[in-house]
Amino acid sequence: MSTYVVGDVQGCYEPLRRLLDRIAFDPARDTLWFVGDLVNRGPQSREVVRFVKALGEQAITVLGNHDLALLVVAEGVEKAHATDTFQDILAAPDRDELLHWLRHRKMIHTAGKHVMVHAGLLPQWSVQQAAALGCEVEHALRGDGHREFLRQMYGDEPARWSDELAGFARLRVITNAMTRMRLSRADGTMEFRHKAGLGRLPAGFMPWYDVPARASADATVLFGHWASLGLVVRPDVIALDTGCVWGRALSALRLEDRRIVQCDCPEMAGNSVGE
C-alpha cells in the first residue's frame, strides 16, 4: 500500500494515465494525493475530474487557483479568459455533479507530519492554525452562501494576515495564501505578480517557505502551483509542479520513501499559458 502525491495535472489526462501506469497504481491498494489545479490550460479537464472523482476515498484533492477559477466562471461571477480550457466541464451533461464535487474539495490536507496545500502557508501559521483556517474557507464554499463568497474572493488585499481579520477579507487572505502565494516578506506580506523562478526576486521578498522561523517548519509541506520553480525535495517542503501543461513533466512522489516518478508531457510542448 502506497500514497503518491501528484503535481498539477491541469487537464492533462493522458499524461496522468501514463504516470499512474508507470507507478502501477492500484486503487484497491494505493492512495493518490493531488496538490490542486486538476483543471484548466490542458485539453481534458472533464476527463481528469471524472477520473479523480470516481476514485472516491482513494483520492484526496486540495483546491488550486484554477479549480477556483472554474467555479467562479460556472457561477457567472467572472467570464472565462481566452486561455481557459475548462469549457468541456461547463458543457458536460454531468456538469452540476462535477462542479458540486469540486466545490467540496479541501483547501488543506494534513496527515501526521505531512501537509498538502496548493500554493503555500503564511509564515505566522502553524499547521494546526492553517488547518482550522482552511476549514473556514471550505465552509464558505460548501454553504448556501458560496456564490457570494466567490463574488468576493478575488483581490490582492489585504496582503498580510491578521488574527483580527473578519468576513470576506479574512477568507480572501486565507484563499490567496493557500492557492496563489509564491513569495512573502518576513512579516507575511504576500506578493502575487512574480511567476518566474528564484532569480531576480522583488526586493524584500523570498519564497514563502524560506521565511525565517516559519511556524509550519516542523512539518513537510507538499505543494504545487509554481511550475517555474520545478521539483524541490527538502525535509520541510516538497514542490511538485514540474510543468506538465508546459510540455515538461508530470511528477509523483511516494510518501513512504520519497521516490520520485515522472512522465514526459510532449503533447503539451509549445503551450505558454500553463500557470
Phi, psi of 12 (to 5 degrees): -95, 75
Contact 163, 145 (CB under 8 A): no
What pLDDT digit, counting tens, does each position of 113-152 carry? 999 999 999 999 999 999 999 999 999 999 999 999 999 9
Over residues 178-194, the mean pLDDT reads: 97
- Encode 158-197: b = buried (16+ Cβ within 10 Å), e = exposed: ebebeeeeeebebbbbbbbbbbbbbbbbeebebbeebeee
pLDDT confidence band for 270 (50 / 70 / 90): low
Q: What is the mean pLDDT of the chain?
A: 96
Q: What is the pTM of this model?
A: 0.96
How many other CB atoms are found less than 10 A from the CB of residue 57? 7
Laid out side by side, the sheet with 59-61 consists of: 59-61, 31-34, 3-6, 249-254, 259-264
pLDDT confidence band for 269 (50 / 70 / 90): confident
CATH topology for 3-268? Purple Acid Phosphatase; chain A, domain 2 (3.60.21)
What pLDDT digit, counting tens, does each position of 211-224 carry? 999 999 999 999 99
pLDDT for 267 equals: 86
Query: Exposed (0-12), middle (13-18) or buried (19+): which is 119, by Cβ within 10 Å?
Result: buried
Over residues 156-174, the mean pLDDT reads: 98
Does 210 have pLDDT greater than 80? yes
What pLDDT digit, counting tens, does each position of 141-155 carry? 999 999 999 999 999
pLDDT for 124 equals: 97
Over residues 28-50, the mean pLDDT reads: 97
pLDDT for 273 equals: 54
Rounded Cα distance, 31 and 6, in Å: 11
Q: Where are the domains of the chain?
A: 3-268
pLDDT for 272 equals: 56
Contact 190, 174 (CB under 8 A): no
